[in-house]
Every structure is written in structure tokens, then in C-alpha cells.
């Protein structure tokens, strides 16, 4: 999938040139379509629940998080959000996970690794995102990928060089116009 190929999808669900603070944003055809897609994605019997069950079956005892329980409200995201917790690798790592995102706007997905690490920032911590994986994370990634493609056949992985492309004339997540990316539009701002 190319940025040019994904832009028409984005523009079906996000109004061009309209800020979320603008009066009328929520009445746009695109926003209403997005809300309907979210509600439908969160309805009973959705494939996301099946995927979570299958992944859980592979890793009994592991902590898994379903970050899409809010979808019936019609708020936030263009994709399902989930992650599997992994043990931290050292004192510097507070939290480690393999995250997986499945868009319900386009047939695409993302798998990434993320860690909260100790860092000299105002909060004392920062998040590190990875799209390549160390050997100990590979088995998790392979299993999750296999289950994603089994439940969502034909879906394609969106690499960061595509996902991080700016969509200059829409807003998604909490970003200002000019800061929104394909990843934000098609998936979420909660990585």
C-alpha cells in the first residue's frame, strides 16, 4: 500500500481542511461515516474479539490488553488497538509490549514493539517504539502476524515509511492540522 493509495480512504472518513474545533466538524459527512464505522467495529461478534481470543490461546497467562472497549461510544480511532505485555529487560525498562493495530477503515495492520524507559525527560520516562524486533520478540511477532492474517485475510502491513507520512489537510488524534499522519488516521494515537 502506498500513501497515494491510502489517501482516498482517509478522505472518506476525515473532512479536508476542517479543524475539529470548527463548528460543524461533527456534522460533516466524513465524521459521521467515521463514527458509524467505529460503532460497527465495536458491535457484538466483531472479528477483533476472535483475534484476541486466538492470541490469548497462544500465550496463556500473559497479560493482554484490549484498547478498543470504547468503540461502541463512536469515539476515537480508525483501528483496533491491542497489546501483549512482555517482561522488562532491565532496570531501565519500566514496561514492554508487542502492540498490534488493525484498521477498520482500510485492510491494513501494524505490529510494533514498545517500551517505557527511564529517561532524562520532565516525566522521567519516555516511550521507545520499534518496528524491527530483537530475537526474543520474534516468536510473538510471528504468532500474532499469523493470527491477524488468519482472522483478517488479505490485510497488509503498513511500514513506518508509509504510516508516518503526513496528511496535511486533516486532523486526527490530538494533532493539529499539518501534524496528522496516516498511522493516526487509519489506526490510533494510542501506541
Partner 1 sequence: MALTRLVPLVALAALLVAMPALAIGRFSPSVFKFVTTVPDDGKEDSTGWQQASAELNFVDTRSVIPRAWSCRVRIGMPLRTSALGRISPESAAEMSANIATDASGNVMHRRPEWLTAEFCSAFKDEMLSLFAGRHPRLGARVNSP
Which positions lie near partner 1, rule CB under 8 A?
A: 19-21, 52, 56, 63-67, 69-70, 72-73, 75-76, 85, 94-95, 97, 116, 122-127, 173-176, 189-190
d(CA 1, CA 14): 19
Q: How far is the CB of 178 from partner 1 (least distance, A)?
A: 11
Q: How far is the CB of 33 from partner 1 (least distance, A)?
A: 18
Smallest distance, Å, CB 165 to partner 1? 19
Instruction: Rank residues 12 and 95 by Cβ distance to partner 1 and give the closer one.
Output: 95
If the CB atoms of residues 88 and 107 are measured against partner 1, the closer one turns out to be: 88
Which is nearer to partner 1, 5 or 32 (by Cβ)?
32
Residue with smaller CB distance to partner 1, 5 or 63: 63
Contact 13, 34 (CB under 8 A): yes
Say which DSSP state 73 is in. Answer: G
User: What is the smallest separation between the CB atom of 5 and partner 1, expressed in angstroms?
Assistant: 27
Handedness of CA 45, 47, 50, 56 (dihedral sign): negative
Q: Is 17 left (phi over 0), alpha (psi -120 to 50) or beta?
A: left
Question: Please, which residue, 82 or 163, has the CB nearer to partner 1?
Answer: 82
Beta strands in the chain (DSSP E): 64-66, 79-86, 93-103, 108-118, 125-130, 156-157
Q: How far is 43 from 45, CA to CA, in rounded Å? A: 6
Instruction: List, in sequence order, every residue forming a beta bridge with 80; answer none if it has no partner.
Output: 102
- Closest approach, Cβ 84 to partner 1, in A, equals 11
Amino acid at each position: 500500500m502506498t500513501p497515494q493509495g491510502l489517501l482516498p480512504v482517509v478522505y472518506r472518513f476525515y473532512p479536508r481542511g476542517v479543524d475539529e474545533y470548527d463548528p460543524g466538524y461533527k456534522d460533516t459527512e466524513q465524521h459521521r461515516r467515521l463514527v458509524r464505522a467505529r460503532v460497527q467495529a465495536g458491535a457484538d461478534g466483531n472479528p477483533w474479539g476472535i483475534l484476541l481470543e486466538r492470541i490469548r490461546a497462544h500465550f496463556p497467562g500473559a497479560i493482554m490488553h484490549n484498547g478498543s472497549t470504547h468503540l461502541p461510544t463512536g469515539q476515537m480511532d480508525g483501528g483496533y488497538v491491542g497489546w501483549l505485555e512482555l517482561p522488562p529487560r532491565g532496570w531501565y525498562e519500566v514496561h514492554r509490549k508487542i502492540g498490534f493495530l488493525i484498521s477498520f477503515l482500510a485492510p491494513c495492520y501494524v505490529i510494533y514493539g514498545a517500551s517505557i524507559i527511564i529517561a532524562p525527560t520532565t516525566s522521567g520516562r519516555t516511550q521507545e517504539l520499534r518496528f524491527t524486533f530483537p530475537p526474543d520478540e520474534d516468536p510473538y511477532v510471528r504468532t500474532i502476524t499469523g493470527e491477524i492474517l488468519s482472522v483478517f485475510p488479505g490485510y497488509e502491513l503498513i511500514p513506518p515509511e508509509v504510516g508516518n507520512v503526513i496528511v496535511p489537510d486533516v486532523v486526527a488524534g490530538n494533532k493539529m492540522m499539518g501534524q496528522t499522519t496516516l498511522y493516526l488516521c487509519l489506526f490510533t494515537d494510542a501506541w
